[in-house]
Amino acid sequence: MSKTIDYYFTPVSPWTYLGHERFVALAKRHGASVNVKPVDLGRIFPVSGGLPLAKRAPQRQAYRLVELKRWSEFLGAPLVLKPKFFPVPADEAALAIIAAEGAGGSAAALRLAGALMRACWAEERDISDLATLGRIAAECGMAAPGAEARAAAKAKFEACTQEAIDLQVFGAPSYVYRGEIFWGQDRLDFLDRALAS
Residue pair 41/102 in contact by the 8 Å Cβ criterion: no
Among 137, 135, 170, 169, which Cα is nearest to 153's?
A: 137
SS3 content of the chain, % helix, strand, coil (to 5): 60, 10, 30
pLDDT band at 129 (very low <50, low <70, confident <90, very high): very high
Tell how far CA 90 is from the center of its chain: 10
From residue 128, alpha-carbon distances to 1, 8, 28, 53, 82 in Å are 39, 19, 29, 18, 16
Strands 174-177 and 180-183: antiparallel
Q: Is 70 exposed, middle or buried, given 0-12, 13-18 or 19+ CB atoms closer than 10 A?
A: exposed
Q: Taking the domains of the chain in order of start, what are their residue ranges?
A: 4-196
| pLDDT for residue 122 | 98
How far apart CA 84 and CA 88 sit, in angstroms, is 10
For residue range 98-116, list pLDDT tens digits in order. 999 999 999 999 999 999 9
Note if the bond before 87 is cis, omega within 30 degrees. Answer: yes
- pTM of the complete model: 0.95
Q: Is the pLDDT of residue 55 over 90?
A: no
Fold of the CATH domain 4-196: Glutaredoxin (3.40.30)
User: Percent of the chain beyond pLDDT 70?
Assistant: 99
Among 13, 125, 120, 15, which Cα is nearest to 72's?
A: 15
Q: Is the pLDDT of residue 79 over 90?
A: yes
H helices within 13-57, ranges in order? Answer: 14-29, 41-48
Q: Is the pLDDT of residue 1 over 80?
A: no
Residue pair 170/44 in contact by the 8 Å Cβ criterion: yes
Q: Is the pLDDT of residue 168 over 90?
A: yes
When pLDDT is averaged across residues 78-107 and rounded to a whole number, the result is: 95
Q: Is the pLDDT of residue 155 over 90?
A: yes
The distance in angstroms from the start CA to the end CA of the chain is 11
For residue range 32-51, list pLDDT tens digits in order. 999 999 999 999 988 888 87
| pLDDT for residue 54 | 83
